[in-house]
């Protein structure tokens, strides 16, 4: 591709992206294809000779786009959002064009220094104390794995990496049943093992860990000769927004000398609004915190910030410095690859810089406040509608509900059929969960361009499809 062709196709791709975003409300939110439909349309073998870009782009539009679920759709109410504000997309064009591998300060000084500044901008925006520094990871899964590895190394007197876990007393990590499955994976990958992830009973309106049960589990493990290493607390869990008493958990961690990691991957974005910070009171006592600007804040995936109180512990756990990765003749630099599991790093800070400058914190606060208010209003409307039950009250913009089947009907089957019918209808996209062993349907508002009218459409679609089952 010569420079003129590169210019022409770059322009066409950008124009396609604008038209795509403008027409999203006309598309079903979830892909309407069946398994194997797209696969069958793709050539079974790679081409031997070059094909024209016109054909490649046409195939993209005709074969790929129909099989995409539209995460930027204003009526995407499933999972959590994976927002990409348009200004973030523009920043990503520039990152893709430069294609820098930003593993070290010397491989792109601007990427490293902008990352340092952006992490501190977000620290200030969330109201965290100045003692926290941090790093932009790819996802909360990587941040949590890094935190678990630090927990493991501290508990093993920094000998786990060199000596392994064989012959050591089992390392124990504590959490509630509301945490994300990324915690399970971190336990697997770190070698700690699922049996050593202690799930503490939870309860109350926010499904937080029972602090007495947490303390009892730690004391019992110590008495049994095990190695309590850390606690993973949750603010805004994926299922129904489960949230721990962070101040209480922090006090338990401090009494027993345990590392505390707080997973606020989704809910952390809301902490730019001071009125929501009560959900993580005591967070200043954490050793590390993760939140994802690529969820609710509008920075395109991937962009996950891990704040740490003691970066030295993270570097001590993860840094490897062969001669070819050393920077000679420069002092006072940071190599963020030493703060991460992967060596390779993308230039993630640029989109955050563009986003924060283009919208300002107040613009982002307004969006989040609207989403919370609209979600609360929808929950109240459904609660007043015959046949509907609110299973979990709104935690920020997330709640769950259930519809009652006909007399004698299977409630779980009915609600699974209902959520499938809603998604097949295409106007909105929802997901299901289980609460106390029973199926419930989740709703969360968080897409960057959602309006109150989109929430009204959600109410209409939910009630209309439920009436079709009654």
Q: Where are the domains of the chain?
A: 101-346, 363-467
Using DSSP's 3-state secondary structure scheme, residue 385 falls into: coil
What confidence tier does 1 reach under pLDDT thresholds 50, 70, 90?
A: confident
Residue with the two structure tokens 């489960």? 242
Pick the CATH number of 101-346 from 3.10.270.10, 3.40.309.10, 3.40.640.10, 3.20.20.70: 3.40.640.10
Question: How far apart are the C-alpha atoms of 126 and 323, rounded to whole Å?
Answer: 38
Its sign, for the CA torsion 416, 418, 420, 423, is: negative
CB 144, CB 232: distance < 8 Å = yes
Question: How far apart are the C-alpha atoms of 60 and 51, rounded to whole Å?
Answer: 13
What confidence tier does 327 reach under pLDDT thresholds 50, 70, 90?
A: low
Using DSSP's 3-state secondary structure scheme, residue 162 falls into: helix
pLDDT above 60 (res 328):
no
Q: HEC profile for 44-111?
A: CCCCCCCCCHHHHHHHHHHHHHHHCCCCCCCCECCCCCCCCCHHHHHHHHHHHHHCCCCCCCCCCHHH
Question: How far apart are the C-alpha atoms of 78 and 299, rounded to whole Å?
Answer: 18
pLDDT reported for residue 372? 97
> Where is 463: in which H helix or E strand?
helix 452-467
CB 295, CB 80: distance < 8 Å = yes
Question: How far apart are the C-alpha atoms of 382 and 12, rounded to whole Å?
Answer: 44
Percent pLDDT > 70 in the chain is: 97
Question: How far apart are the C-alpha atoms of 245 and 279, rounded to whole Å?
Answer: 8
Do 101-346 and 363-467 show the same overall fold? no
pLDDT above 80 (res 470):
no
Question: How far apart are the C-alpha atoms of 392 and 399, rounded to whole Å?
Answer: 5
What confidence tier does 178 reach under pLDDT thresholds 50, 70, 90?
A: confident
CB 108, CB 345: distance < 8 Å = no
pLDDT reported for residue 168? 86
Q: Which of 79-83, 379-383, 410-414 tops mean pLDDT?
A: 379-383
Structural class in CATH, domain 363-467: alpha beta
Question: How far apart are the C-alpha atoms of 99 and 9, rounded to whole Å?
Answer: 17
pLDDT above 50 (res 329):
no
Tens digits of residue pLDDT in 28-70: 999 989 999 999 999 999 999 999 999 999 999 999 999 999 9
How many C-beta atoms lie closer than 10 Å to residue 321's C-beta? 12
- Average model confidence (pLDDT) across the chain: 91
> In 3D, which of 170, 168, 144 has the Cα closest to residue 260?
144
Cα-based torsion angle of the residue sequence 140, 141, 147, 151 in order, rounded to the nearest 10 degrees: 150
Tens digits of residue pLDDT in 216-238: 999 999 999 999 999 999 999 98
pLDDT above 70 (res 368):
yes
Question: How far apart are the C-alpha atoms of 97 and 465, rounded to whole Å?
Answer: 45
Question: How far apart are the C-alpha atoms of 417 and 433, rounded to whole Å?
Answer: 13
Query: Angle formed by the axes of helices 246-256 and 211-223, to 10°?
Result: 20
Using DSSP's 3-state secondary structure scheme, residue 275 falls into: helix
287 burial (CB, 10 Å; 0-12 / 13-18 / 19+) is buried
Question: How far apart are the C-alpha atoms of 150 and 148, rounded to whole Å?
Answer: 5
Between 271 and 325, the more confident residue is 271
């Amino acid at each position: 591709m010569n420079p003129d062709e590169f210019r022409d196709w770059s322009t066409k791709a950008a124009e396609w992206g604008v038209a795509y975003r403008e027409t999203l409300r006309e598309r079903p939110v979830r892909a309407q294809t069946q398994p194997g439909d797209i696969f069958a349309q793709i050539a079974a073998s790679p081409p031997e000779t070059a094909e024209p870009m016109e054909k490649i782009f046409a195939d993209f539009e005709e074969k790929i786009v129909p099989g995409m679920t539209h995460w930027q759709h204003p009526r995407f109410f499933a999972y959590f959002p994976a927002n990409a504000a348009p200004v973030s997309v523009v920043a990503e064009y520039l990152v893709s064009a430069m294609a820098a591998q930003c593993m070290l300060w010397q491989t792109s000084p601007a990427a490293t220094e902008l990352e340092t500044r952006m992490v501190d901008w977000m620290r200030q925006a969330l109201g965290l104390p100045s003692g926290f520094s941090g790093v932009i990871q790819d996802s909360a899964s990587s941040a949590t794995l890094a935190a678990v590895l630090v927990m493991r190394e501290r508990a093993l007197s920094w000998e786990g990496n060199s000596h392994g876990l064989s012959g050591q007393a089992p390392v124990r990590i504590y959490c509630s049943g509301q945490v994300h499955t990324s915690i399970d994976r971190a336990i697997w990958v770190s070698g700690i093992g699922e049996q050593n992830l202690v799930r503490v009973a939870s309860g109350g309106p926010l499904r937080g860990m029972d602090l007495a049960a947490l303390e009892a589990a730690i004391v019992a493990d110590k008495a049994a000769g095990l190695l309590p290493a850390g606690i993973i607390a949750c603010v805004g869990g994926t299922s129904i927004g489960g949230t721990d008493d962070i101040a209480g958990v922090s006090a338990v961690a401090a009494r027993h000398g345990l590392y505390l990691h707080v997973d606020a991957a989704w809910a952390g974005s809301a902490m730019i609004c001071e009125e929501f910070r009560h959900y993580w009171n005591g967070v200043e006592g954490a050793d590390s915190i993760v939140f994802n600007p690529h969820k609710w804040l509008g920075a395109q995936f991937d962009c996950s910030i891990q704040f740490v109180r003691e970066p030295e512990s993270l570097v001590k756990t993860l840094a490897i410095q062969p001669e070819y990765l050393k920077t000679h003749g420069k002092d006072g630099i940071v190599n963020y690859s030493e703060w991460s599991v992967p060596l390779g790093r993308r230039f993630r800070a640029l989109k955050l810089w563009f986003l924060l400058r283009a919208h300002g914190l107040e613009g982002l606060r307004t969006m989040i406040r609207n989403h919370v208010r609209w979600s609360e209003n929808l929950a109240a409307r459904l609660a007043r509608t015959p046949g509907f039950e609110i299973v979990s009250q709104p935690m920020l913009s997330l709640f769950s509900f259930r519809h009652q089947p006909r007399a004698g009907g299977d409630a779980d089957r009915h609600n699974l059929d209902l959520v499938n019918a809603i998604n097949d209808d295409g106007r909105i996209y929802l997901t299901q969960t289980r609460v106390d062993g029973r199926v419930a349907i989740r709703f969360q508002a968080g897409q960057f361009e959602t309006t109150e009218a989109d929430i009204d459409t959600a109410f209409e679609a939910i009630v209309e499809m439920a009436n079709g089952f009654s």
